[in-house]
Structure 1
Amino acid sequence: MVRELLEKARGLSIYTAYNTNVDAIVYLNGETVQGLIDEFGADAVRKRMEDYPREINEPLDFVARLVHALKTGKPMAVPLVNEELHTWFDSHFRYDVERMGGQAGIIANLLSNLDFREVIVYTPHLAKRQAEMFVRKPNLFYPVVEGGKLVLKHPWEAYREGDPVKVNRIFEFRAGTAFKLGDERIVVPFSGRFIVSARFESIRIYTEPGLRPFLPEIGERVDGAILSGYQGINLRYSDGKDANYYLRKAKEDIMLLKREKDLKVHLEFASIQSRELRKKVIYNLFPLADSVGMDEAEIAYVLSALGYDELADRIFTYNRIEDTVLGGKILLDEMNLDVLQIHTIYYIMYITHADNPLSEEELRRSLELATTLAASRASLGDITSPDQVEVGLRVPYNERGEYVKLRFEEAKRKLRTKEYKLVIIPTRLVQNPVSTVGLGDTISTGAFTSYLAMLKEKGEL
């Protein structure tokens, strides 16, 4: 069933934008973490943890937020705003791997490796170092304008000298890693990653003015678009531009992509530390999207920005399925989405309206493909061919699968759900993943493209 659905999805053409970067990955161990704590002192680290810095201005901010992430075992991303700290990081860590990062880049390489019919990826910054991280496949293209016409080239042939490169540092941690914070012994409960995301003025999220008139042509050419990276927008820039300027352009981009046909657009949401920016992204872009993907922490952030603080707090504190379902219903209705996809470590969920063209069984099949692809990626570190879906099929569902199904049925009985289609499946959980980077992007890509494939089969696309 999963194989057949993947085969259908591979017939699609997909456009993805905007964010790419170099991921410099460190595989953490207890000794390294202990060394960082000892360098600054447990008391200083504990006090800064209480302050909970929202961005990294100095090394202690990093250590405090890292220890917090390790203690909870939850994946986190915190922006690095002080460009001078590059030297400190490079002097303290040896990077185990350097590879493609950023949602658009990861998604483009994944779709290309899965042999989708055509993958068009756009990022406003394409230095040679970045271009060389795209896979060299004949189905992968970067749009450029030559002689007043749209030309599709491989990213390897389209790079520009002098473009800036964004480097994100990713600290992968494993469940069971132990260290001491003063007298407190901490054991990491879950595997995950802590991302130090570079947020510098030189890196911006936009479509170059020369390419924008050709977005309708791109929209007409593809079956769907996956857009991401809005978390990289700054509230204000030194040249006088601000978030409102770039969000206006982002809205125009979506409308241009949809101008020639009702193109399905998926937004992949990522944590935005600033509540003000989060609110702007939600209110400006969500109503133009057909589909949105996020994890359970991100739905809580979104609900908080929409004014549902009590419900957001419940999701953060208790992580109950019924609260996530309620929050999903609110978001689906308030933002007028076709489909909302929520992925967590133990389950993936779809929430749509009752009149959605796909049946609950078809939606379930879409989620099955999504979790299988993620299990393949977690097992191998990357997916390099469609055949590797077999690896994910051999990964068992997580041990809480039956409990998840039971709580989901309880939630449906408690809440008014007749006007909705609600589908949940347990995740296939790799106990010792080679890497956790890109798993959420893989889930969302597998879900959205298989959703499109089934819509197309029904003549709804």
Structure 2
Amino acid sequence: MVRELLEKARELSIYTAYNTNVDAIVYLKGEMVQRLIDEFGADAVRKRIDEYPRQINEPLDFVARLVHALKTGKPMAVPLVNEELHSWFDSHFKYDVERMGGQAGIIANLLSSLDFRRVTVYTPHLAKKQAEMFVNRPNLFYPVVENGRLIFKHPREAYRENDPLKVNRIFEFRAGTTFKLGDETITVPFSGRFIVSARFESIRIYTEPELRPFLPRIGEMSDGAILSGYQGIKLRYSDGKDANHYLKKAKEDIMLLKREKDVKVHLEFASIQSRELRKKVIYNLFPLVDSVGMDESEIAYVLSALGYDRLADRIFTYTRIEDTVLGGKILIDEMNLELLQIHTIYYIMYIAHADNPLGEEELRQSLELATTLAASRASLGEITSPDQISVGMSVPYNERGEYVKLRFEEAKRKLRTKEYKLVIIPTRLVQNPVSTVGLGDTISTGAFTSYLAMLKEKGEL
């Protein structure tokens, strides 16, 4: 079924925007972490962990948040706001890989490599090094306005000499890695990654003014749009612009995409440290889109911003499925979403209203494709052809699969769910992944595009 569903999804044309960057990846070893702790001293690291810096202003902030992430084994992203630290990172680490990063870039390369009919990617900043990280495929396009006309070029032919380049540093860690924090021996419980994401004034999330009048045409040409990168918006900029300015433009972009045809829009949410900004993104954009994808910690952040602090705390503390289901119900009701997709290490879940055109078995097939694609990516590092889905099909479901199903059925019995379609499947979990970067984006892309393919088959798209 998975292979057949991918064949149907590959008939689609997809638009994706806004964020791309270069991912500079380090495969962490215990001795690397130990060297950092020894450089600053275990007491200083412990003290800074307790302070829990929300952004990285100096090297000790980085070391503290990294050690905290390794102790919990949970993937985390923390913004780097001090541009002067570039040289510190470059002097302390040798990068094992440099490749495409940013949700829009990762999604564009994935869809193009899966041989979708047409993939249009837009990012407001396209430096030459960034452009060269797009796969060299004939189905991948970048919109350009020349002499007042909309034309499409391959991203590698559309770069601009003076555009800024964003570099995110990604520290991949493996379960079982050990190091010492003073007298305490720490063993990393799960594989994951710690992302130091550059948040600089020069990088902004918007559509260039000359391209905006053509967004209705791009929407008309597309079966769906996947939008992301809003976590890169800053509350205030030195030129007087602020988050409200960019979110107003983002709302207009979505409405322009939908003007000629009610194209389905998926928003891929990512952690936003500032509660104020998180709230702005949620209230401004969620009501305009059809589908949202996020991970378990992100739904807790969203619920906290909406005022459901006790439920958010329970999700953070206990990670119980029933709390996540309850949070998902609140979210699709308050934001009037058509579809909410939540992905975690052990399961992926869909929550939709009872009148959704797809049945629960069809929604389950969509999630099945999503976890199989992610397993292929985790096994190979990158997906370079549609045939590689077979790699993911041979990856077993995680060992908590039966427990997940049991807890899900319990949650459905406890909570009122008649007004909803709720579907959960265990993830196919690769024990020693080549990379964990982009797995959430792969899940969301596989889920949303297969959902669209089934809607289209029913004449609902």
- The normalised TM-score by structure 1 is 1.00
Distance of 1:206 and 1:156 partners within structure 2 = 20
Partner of 2:334: 334
Post-superposition shift, 1:210? 0.3
Three-state SS of the structure 1 residue aligned to 2:107 is: helix
Partner of 1:81: 81
Three-state SS of the structure 1 residue aligned to 2:322 is: helix
Partner of 2:257: 257
Partner of 2:386: 386
Partner of 2:149: 149
Distance of 1:348 and 1:111 partners within structure 2 = 20
Q: Does residue 105 of structure 1 match 2:109?
A: no
Partner of 1:411: 411
Structure 1 vs Structure 2 CA RMSD = 0.2
Q: Which letter does structure 1 place at the counterpart of 2:111?
A: L
Three-state SS of the structure 1 residue aligned to 2:14 is: strand
- The CA deviation string for residues 70-125 of structure 1, in whole angstroms up to 9 with x for no partner, is 00000000000000000000000000000000000000000000000000000000
Distance of 1:152 and 1:408 partners within structure 2 = 46
Post-superposition shift, 1:399? 0.2
Distance of 1:163 and 1:218 partners within structure 2 = 23
1:354-365 matched pairs, under 5 angstroms: 354-365=354-365
Partner of 2:248: 248
Partner of 1:343: 343
Distance of 1:147 and 1:56 partners within structure 2 = 43
Post-superposition shift, 1:247? 0.2
Distance of 1:30 and 1:418 partners within structure 2 = 49
Partner of 1:197: 197
- The CA deviation string for residues 394-445 of structure 1, in whole angstroms up to 9 with x for no partner, is 0000000000000000000000000000000000000000000000000000
Partner of 2:450: 450
- The CA deviation string for residues 250-286 of structure 1, in whole angstroms up to 9 with x for no partner, is 0000000000011100000000000000000000000
Q: Which letter does structure 2 place at the counterpart of 1:192?
A: G
Q: Does residue 322 of structure 1 match 2:322?
A: yes
Q: Which letter does structure 1 place at the counterpart of 2:351?
A: I
Partner of 1:459: 459
Distance of 2:148 and 2:276 partners within structure 1 = 39
1:250-329 matched pairs, under 5 angstroms: 250-329=250-329
Gaps of 5+ in 1: none
Distance of 2:264 and 2:19 partners within structure 1 = 19
Q: Does residue 376 of structure 1 match 2:382?
A: no
Identity of counterpart residues, as a percentage?
89
Q: Does residue 19 of structure 1 match 2:19?
A: yes
Q: Which letter does structure 1 place at the counterpart of 2:369?
A: L
Q: Which letter does structure 1 place at the counterpart of 2:23?
A: D
Q: Which letter does structure 1 place at the counterpart of 2:212?
A: R
- The CA deviation string for residues 330-363 of structure 1, in whole angstroms up to 9 with x for no partner, is 0000000000000000000000000000000000
- The normalised TM-score by structure 2 is 1.00
Distance of 1:52 and 1:289 partners within structure 2 = 33
Partner of 2:161: 161
Q: Does residue 59 of structure 1 match 2:75?
A: no
Three-state SS of the structure 1 residue aligned to 2:54 is: coil
Runs of 4+ aligned structure 1 residues displaced above 3 Å come to: none
Q: Which letter does structure 1 place at the counterpart of 2:76?
A: M
Distance of 1:365 and 1:280 partners within structure 2 = 34
1:415-454 matched pairs, under 5 angstroms: 415-454=415-454
Q: Which letter does structure 2 place at the counterpart of 1:103?
A: Q
1:34-73 matched pairs, under 5 angstroms: 34-73=34-73
- The CA deviation string for residues 115-140 of structure 1, in whole angstroms up to 9 with x for no partner, is 00000000000000000000000000
Post-superposition shift, 1:149? 1.2
Distance of 2:149 and 2:9 partners within structure 1 = 29
Distance of 1:240 and 1:67 partners within structure 2 = 36
Aligned length: 461
Q: Which letter does structure 2 place at the counterpart of 1:12?
A: L
Distance of 2:228 and 2:331 partners within structure 1 = 18
Q: Does residue 188 of structure 1 match 2:188?
A: yes
Q: Which letter does structure 2 place at the counterpart of 1:257?
A: L
1:27-38 matched pairs, under 5 angstroms: 27-38=27-38
- The CA deviation string for residues 283-305 of structure 1, in whole angstroms up to 9 with x for no partner, is 00000010000000000000000
- The CA deviation string for residues 356-383 of structure 1, in whole angstroms up to 9 with x for no partner, is 0000000000000000000000000000
Three-state SS of the structure 2 residue aligned to 1:433 is: coil
Q: Which letter does structure 1 place at the counterpart of 2:368?
A: E
Gaps of 5+ in 2: none
Distance of 1:263 and 1:133 partners within structure 2 = 28
Distance of 2:145 and 2:412 partners within structure 1 = 51
Post-superposition shift, 1:146? 1.2
Distance of 1:58 and 1:83 partners within structure 2 = 10
Partner of 1:212: 212
Three-state SS of the structure 2 residue aligned to 1:460 is: coil
Q: Which letter does structure 2 place at the counterpart of 1:99?
A: R
Post-superposition shift, 1:148? 1.3
Partner of 2:178: 178
